[in-house]
Amino acid sequence: MLSLSALSLYLAALVAVYVLPGPDMAMVMATSASRGVGAGLLTALGIAASRFLHVMMSGLGLAALMATHPMLFSAVRWIGAGYLLWLAWKVIRAQPAPADAPPAAESTRAAIARGFLTNLLNPKALMFCALFLPQFVSPAHGALLPQFALLGAILVAVGLSFDTAYAFAASGLARRLQGRRPAAKLQKSLLGGVFVAMAGRLIFG
């Protein structure tokens, strides 16, 4: 079992990571602003599920496999970038809604899948888990996989808490701007731009 001091340091490090702007924060906020807080929260749930999967994959050694096989890493990176560009294309070609219309409704499955796949197809997220988590795992505390599972659960819970706050904040700002035609166009451009920027960061970052 991990010591209390190690868990406290781990929590502090996670808070510092989630406070800094990143692609997951941008996606949740852009989705909430353009499609409503419900879609933003569902996207955050998909991201949370992918984060936990990344933790478990790093614990099982998949991250080390990617690190030693650059072609596999590059393949996942390009697939992820292609998926993000496809999402951007869907947003850009969508018909604009009337200025007084509420945010466009979205199915639960689509919103969760978008968050899950976007994070899952980011090999840098997997590599982060592979580099970050082992600093808090030790054979002296018992079997390694349960430690990764505990750390993963904490990582997901903290991340989901921050993403929830970001979703409500972005949705509240969008409601205050609702009904203004330039703001509606800005919301659409923002979501498409976020996907393009994330794709670029994945390829060139």
Domain spans of the chain, in order of start: 4-180
What pLDDT does residue 101 have? 45
Alpha helices in 23-69 (DSSP H): 23-35, 37-60, 62-68
Which carries the bigger pLDDT value, residue 156 or residue 141?
Answer: 156
Beta carbons within 8 Å of 130's beta carbon, 6+ residues apart: 58, 63, 64, 67
What pLDDT does residue 43 have? 94
What is the C-alpha separation between 171 and 128, in angstroms, rounded?
A: 29
State the amino acid at position 34 in one-letter form.
S
Which carries the bigger pLDDT value, residue 17 or residue 143?
Answer: 17
pLDDT tens sequence across 156-181: 999 999 999 999 998 888 777 665 54
pLDDT tens sequence across 85-132: 877 777 667 554 444 444 455 578 888 998 998 888 888 888 888 778
Tokens coding 153: 């659960």
What pLDDT does residue 168 have? 94
Using pLDDT thresholds of 50, 70 and 90, give the confidence band for residue 78. confident
Let me know the angle formed at the C-alpha of 122 by 119 and 128, rounded to the nearest 5 degrees: 95
pLDDT tens sequence across 10-69: 898 899 889 887 888 888 988 888 788 999 999 999 999 999 888 888 777 766 666 677
